[in-house]
Amino acid sequence: MKIVIIGGVAAGTSAAAKARRNSEDAQIIIFDADKDISYSGCGLPYYIGPEIEGREQLVPRDAKYFKQKYNVDVYTSHKVLEIKSQPKTLVVQNLISGEVFTESYDRLVIATGAQAVIPAIEGSDKPNVFYLRNVVSADKIRKYVLEGKPKTAVIVGSGFIGLEMAENLTVRGIHVTVVELAQHVMPALDQDVAIYLEEYLKEKGITVIVNDSVVRMEGSFEDSKVVLKSGRELTADLVVMAVGVRPNIELARAAGIELGETGAISVNTKMQTSIDGIYACGDCTESYSLITGKPFYRPLGSTANKMGRIVGDQITGNDLEFRGGLGTGIFKVFDMAVAQTGLTEKEAKREGYEVIVCYNIKPDKPEYFGGQEMVIKAVADKRSGKILGAQIVGKAGVDKRIDVFVTAITFGAKAEDLFHLDLAYAPPFSTTKDPVMYTGMILDNVLRRGRKLISPEELQEKVASGEEIQIIDARVAKQYQAEHMEGARNIPQEHIRTELNSMDKEKVTVTYCNKGVTGNAAQNILLNHGFKQVFNLSGGYKNYGKQRKR
């Protein structure tokens, strides 16, 4: 049995290693057009910044390692030109010698990855315009940064890579401007979550431009500039294009392998393509959502690794299958972590769910232990009560909470289940009730206890529509006096019980405080006293203020 794998980064090498662990009989060959294999693609931005000092930290393994450890033959600088299925052969070119040869296979694994999208923009071929995709491209940027000493950079695109680059270039002393076509940075997030990130980037000295795009890059190094659609011109000694990646599917398509609706290679749960004996995995491959069951394209190192292992198991006659993903992502920018799993509100609505949404602002541990606030936006399905997704921004403990959500969602958790989790509590690690538990409690209070929430956007719409509502600011007088919502009346929560008669039980009422807890307490009192319709402002004035500033 001869296994040939095209591509030797995350998915390809995982497939090879797993196949070898299962079988000593198979002959296993990897071809990769690149000179580096098995590197940490997700570490690349940190190699441009000072965090990763040496290339060998990023690329710890070479062909020799795979031969010794796994008896796998890795041919780097070998480009596969064509896949034939009858007979099962590949046409391969040695990029060093130029030689072209034919290689047979019994099982073929396509792990060709993805490449940076290169938009057709005038000047994108200038020597100071870069793309980050592999180690060689990172080497180039690193060299340019260290030797060219650029003072200004424009990053086009604000996904993971764009923002990680923004951090790393800023740390190198370069002034960074991020240009994003969408209405907000990190378009995979909901806008009302992205706003927290956007504000933070600005605090860190990064110029953020949204709703705009690059139309032209011009000038020489000494006087290089980027011209935007809006007409705005930016000085840019360095430009990084990070507008996304697209799957490398040319080889597969030419071989007649079916592509999915996302444009990536379509596979079943065994990672088999439409042609017998040919498998695909990693960033060239379509996966699917565990929640909706529908195909999606999520080029992530973790997913590539997982898919590769499944392929390695399958091609050696075993039974691992892909179970679907949640599209979980996380990244750090300076001291802030931003994480997301499952469906955003936007996605959930697009999928036709009737959604319940909450914003939960809580410290990761007690304030007396240095706790820092995080904002959790969670989305639940009104019909089933199930959690559909979560987005979290904060400076500490974000990765823990998103992973608890991931695990809960994977097992179909309902909002009401989260409170019951016996999560680990001690003051250095968490609050007595963890922020995840609070999130479940808030959602469950909406779902089953009539404690309705209103989002800043919904409240603004209500006010704008001219609907008559009474807005109760339940904070202490000092906070109200400092700043409050237009039209709001201040009744500190501790006085609400004595002020009941001064309010109208029949009128739609909105309560709020700083973050939502006291507003909920006020809401409880009013509902328990027979007020007909009471909404608590989710995330409180703090969240409202963020959203309003936009």
Catalytic residues, which ones?
42
CA distances from residue 127 to 44, 216, 293, 531, 544 in whole angstroms, order as listed? 20, 14, 44, 67, 44
In this structure, are strands 355-363 and 373-381 parallel, antiparallel, or unpaired?
antiparallel
Q: Is 344 in the site for a copy of itself (CB under 8 A)?
A: no
Q: Is 341 in the site for a copy of itself (CB under 8 A)?
A: yes
* Smaller CB separation from a copy of itself, 324 or 456: 324
Q: Which of 93, 112, 305, 360 binds a copy of itself (CB under 8 A)?
A: 305
The answer to whether residues 427 and 406 touch, using CB atoms and an 8 Å cutoff, is: no
Q: Is 42 in the site for a copy of itself (CB under 8 A)?
A: yes
Q: Is 314 in the site for a copy of itself (CB under 8 A)?
A: no
Task: Give the nearest distance from C-beta 259 to a copy of itself in angstroms.
Answer: 23
Q: Which of 149, 294, 497, 532 binds a copy of itself (CB under 8 A)?
A: 497
* Smaller CB separation from a copy of itself, 282 or 539: 282
- Subset of residues 132 to 171 that bind a copy of itself, contact rule: CB under 8 A: 160
Q: Which of 406, 463, 469, 508 binds a copy of itself (CB under 8 A)?
A: 406
Q: Is 301 in the site for a copy of itself (CB under 8 A)?
A: yes
The answer to whether residues 535 and 454 touch, using CB atoms and an 8 Å cutoff, is: yes
Q: Which of 104, 230, 407, 481 binds a copy of itself (CB under 8 A)?
A: 407
CA distance 354 to 350: 10
Which one, of 300, 427, 318, 403, lies nearest residue 19 by Cα? 318
Helix, strand, coil shares, percent, the chain, to 5: 35, 25, 40
Which range, of 150-158, 227-235, 325-333, 354-362, touches a copy of itself by CB under 8 A?
A: 325-333
CA distance 95 to 101: 11
Q: Is 475 in the site for a copy of itself (CB under 8 A)?
A: no
Site string for a copy of itself, 71-90 (x = CB under 8 A): x-------------------
Q: Is 424 in the site for a copy of itself (CB under 8 A)?
A: yes
Rg (CA), the chain: 27
The answer to whether residues 486 and 498 touch, using CB atoms and an 8 Å cutoff, is: no
Q: Is 414 in the site for a copy of itself (CB under 8 A)?
A: no
Total residue count of the chain as it appears in this document: 550
Number of neighbouring beta carbons within 10 Å of residue 216: 14
CA distance 521 to 498: 15
Per-residue b/e over 256-283, b at no fewer than 16 CB within 10 Å?
ebebbebebbbbeeebbbbbeebbbbbb
Which one, of 345, 359, 349, 353, lies nearest residue 382 by Cα? 353
* Smaller CB separation from a copy of itself, 11 or 214: 11
Which one, of 197, 153, 119, lies nearest residue 377 by Cα? 197
Count of residues near a copy of itself by CB under 8 A: 82
Which range, of 65-73, 85-93, 100-108, 191-199, touches a copy of itself by CB under 8 A?
A: 65-73
Task: Give the nearest distance from C-beta 528 to a copy of itself in angstroms.
Answer: 4
Number of neighbouring beta carbons within 10 Å of residue 396: 17
* Smaller CB separation from a copy of itself, 46 or 105: 46
Q: Is 102 in the site for a copy of itself (CB under 8 A)?
A: no
Q: Which of 50, 69, 136, 477 binds a copy of itself (CB under 8 A)?
A: 69
Q: Is 10 in the site for a copy of itself (CB under 8 A)?
A: yes
The answer to whether residues 328 and 189 touch, using CB atoms and an 8 Å cutoff, is: no
Q: Which of 423, 463, 469, 503 binds a copy of itself (CB under 8 A)?
A: 423
CA distances from residue 195 to 71, 205, 393, 550 in whole angstroms, order as listed? 50, 16, 10, 8
Q: Is 58 in the site for a copy of itself (CB under 8 A)?
A: yes
Q: Is 21 in the site for a copy of itself (CB under 8 A)?
A: yes
CA distance 460 to 548: 9
* Smaller CB separation from a copy of itself, 228 or 535: 535
- 90: which strand partners? 83, 103
Q: Which of 386, 400, 515, 546 binds a copy of itself (CB under 8 A)?
A: 400
CA distance 385 to 408: 13
Task: Give the nearest distance from C-beta 395 to a copy of itself in angstroms.
Answer: 12
- Subset of residues 498 to 537 that bind a copy of itself, contact rule: CB under 8 A: 520-521, 524-525, 528-529
* Smaller CB separation from a copy of itself, 187 or 327: 327
Q: Which of 137, 272, 385, 429 binds a copy of itself (CB under 8 A)?
A: 429
